[in-house]
Amino acid sequence: MAFPNQFLDELRARIRVSEVVSPKVRLVQRGQEFTGLCPFHNEKTPSFTVNDSKGFYHCFGCGAHGDVISFLMQADGLSFLESVEKLAEIAGLPIPETSSHDKKITKEQADLQQIIEKSCLWYQKHLFDPVGMQAKDYLQKRGFSDDTIKKFRLGFAPSGRGLLRQAMEQHNITSEQLISCGLLKRSEGSGADRDYFFNRVTFPIVDRQDKVIGFGGRLIGDGQPKYLNSPETSFFRKGKVLYNWPQARKASAESGSVIVVEGYTDVISLSQAGILNVVAPLGTALTEEQILLLWRIADEPLLCFDGDNAGLRASFRAAEKALPMLKPGKSLRFINLPEGEDPDSIIHKRTAQGLKLLMDKALPLVDMIWALETNNKRFTTPERRAELESKFNYHVNRINDRNVQYHYRQSLRRKVNSFFQDKINTRKYENSFDRSSTLSQYGPRGDILSLKERQEMVLLSILINHNDLVHGLVEELAEISLSNKDLDKMLREILNVTVDHPDLDSEALQSHLVTNGFERQMLAVLNKKIYKQALFAAPSSSKDLAASALEEIVLSYRFRRLKVDRDVAKEELADEMNEENSNKLLEILREQTGSGGI
């Protein structure tokens, strides 16, 4: 619903921002403002400020900014409506009147929700009755304690035909109301309407206000389907709901993360083990609405599906679903479980700490896309390699955010180059970073591969000996992908540390590289034989000479990248003659011409 601006202004005026922030952030007053550690990103030095007189909060670290309403939305994962309703209750401010039609709809929804609540209590009672003994045994064998069973309000729908309907009739609840709640199934013949759930353990599904809106049911004994969800109703849309959302939302506000598992029992097992920030879709693939819901409480939700083919397919589907929606800072990560394991089994075998160790190794989404197209596949021919690159281009082009799309293209290009290089490169550096043995392989002329690696070593020599030159070329250098993966890793380390510490001199940089495990690579690069063929790379070389050489090397890499992009664009245009592909090729050609490329 839409709220009048006057009402919202009154709400903001009645509640100080610090009043809402202080339960989540330890605030220290500094003059007219408060400061504290930002709740939206990890930091050690306070950069989060609250200004009550101006009615806003702001973080100078991550840029988070807003008023009391947006703080609740961001901190607690609430919708705008939920935030306003919560603040109105705190302020003692009545919600503006709605139309008579809206009131009628709200009243009907409230009545139906009360019916579902009564049904939930009825199911709970039967789980602890003799009729529910087999269902209770099933839950106990899963390792669920009585406290956990009560916490999640698990119940049992007995197998007698129409028992729920008969029980609800005693409360003057009609069959039509039960059908509207998804609890009764209309008979197709002349027989009586039948209960939707029977002979099943029931798992209540709640909305964001922790109100029961539906159920999942697990069959006791043989039969199909093993799991059954409530049918879609006016207030239950399974593609827009996540199991255990309210509890996970509160826990995620503290941890900054949320875990997505496949089913109800996985959620309950993890919660019982102390991992509270966990949710599950309702027996279906993760939807766009559910991904958006997850992003409201965590920037990179962790997907932890079963360690089998079905779990892997679910991960791939989620990755493909998320690609068009990616935004800077918003993505997914994937926990890779051992084959045959699921979150429940991991908890019982390795405890919660064992799962947390796997969480620390979660794969980024780009790696899942890589695995989707390369796992158990061979690329022994040019045609197959071209097909692989074409598939990656397809995935990247589905990303709507141009900035994210650019970085995905760069990341996958580096992976492809490294992948194919590993296949043909018989001179690997892993075990040969002794300076003399490494460099003695390459003569002044050398073959193509040797010259390429020599150029990479010259590039790194310049960056280490004259690292102040990095600052003006960070973006261009970040686009470069070196053929040797160890040298490429060292390049990334140089860029990262130079950006983080702009005053770092060459000596300090070398010390950092040694400390972080790059000593062998660095010794191979900082070598007199390199300087003999590339004097400008030596520490004694003038800065102007080194800068000129560095620009030439960076430009040569850019020409190579544009050539690859041009060839791919030509193939795409040949496959499909359309305006988008034509414009893409023209843009690359203009960039080549503008850079002096061919």
- With respect to residue 282, please indicate whether it lies within any of the assigned structural domains: yes
- Decide which of 236, 256, 271 is a domain's last residue: 236
- With respect to residue 384, please indicate whether it lies within any of the assigned structural domains: no
- What's the pLDDT tens digit per position in 47-78? 999 998 888 999 988 888 889 999 988 888 77
Mean pLDDT of the chain: 84
- Triad 493, 494, 500: Cα angle to 5°: 90
- With respect to residue 423, please indicate whether it lies within any of the assigned structural domains: no
Q: Are residues 270 and 297 in the same domain?
A: yes
Percent of the chain topping pLDDT 90: 39
> At 149, which CATH number?
3.90.980.10
Q: What is the mean pLDDT of residues 439-446?
A: 34
- With respect to residue 500, please indicate whether it lies within any of the assigned structural domains: yes
- With respect to residue 472, please indicate whether it lies within any of the assigned structural domains: yes
What contacts 356, CB < 8 A, 6 or more positions away?
Answer: 275
Q: Give the pLDDT of residue 583.
A: 60
- What's the pLDDT tens digit per position in 70-105? 998 888 877 888 889 889 988 888 888 766 666 677
Confidence class of residue 339 from pLDDT cuts 50, 70 and 90?
Answer: confident
Q: Are residues 458 and 535 in the same domain?
A: yes
Q: Give the pLDDT of residue 176.
A: 92
Q: Give the pLDDT of residue 376.
A: 80
Q: Are residues 351 and 278 in the same domain?
A: yes
Three-class secondary structure of residue 302 per DSSP: strand
Q: Give the pLDDT of residue 352.
A: 84
Query: Domain of 355?
Result: 240-371
Q: Are residues 217 and 273 in the same domain?
A: no
Q: Are residues 506 and 545 in the same domain?
A: yes
Q: Are residues 45 and 11 in the same domain?
A: yes
Residue 438 has pLDDT above 50, yes or no: no
Q: Are residues 117 and 185 in the same domain?
A: yes
Determine which helix (DSSP H) or strand (DSSP E) holds 229, and give its type and residue range: strand 227-229
Confidence class of residue 331 from pLDDT cuts 50, 70 and 90?
Answer: very high
Three-class secondary structure of residue 66 per DSSP: strand
N-to-C CA span, the chain: 59
Count: domains in the chain: 4
Q: Are residues 232 and 269 in the same domain?
A: no
Q: Are residues 16 and 142 in the same domain?
A: no
- Decide which of 51, 74, 91 is a domain's last residue: 91
> At 20, which CATH number?
3.90.580.10
DSSP 236-292: --GGG--BTHHHHHHHHHHHS--EE-SSHHHHHHHHHTT--SEEB-SSSPPPHHHHH
Q: Are residues 467 and 553 in the same domain?
A: yes
Q: Are residues 73 and 214 in the same domain?
A: no
> At 314, which CATH number?
3.40.1360.10
- With respect to residue 414, please indicate whether it lies within any of the assigned structural domains: no
Distance CA 205, CA 291 (A): 18
Residue 187 has pLDDT above 90, yes or no: no
State how beta strands 259-260 and 278-279 pair: parallel
Q: Are residues 124 and 175 in the same domain?
A: yes
Q: Give the pLDDT of residue 592.
A: 46
- With respect to residue 426, please indicate whether it lies within any of the assigned structural domains: no
- With respect to residue 532, please indicate whether it lies within any of the assigned structural domains: yes
Residue 249 has pLDDT above 70, yes or no: yes
- Decide which of 70, 91, 112 is a domain's last residue: 91
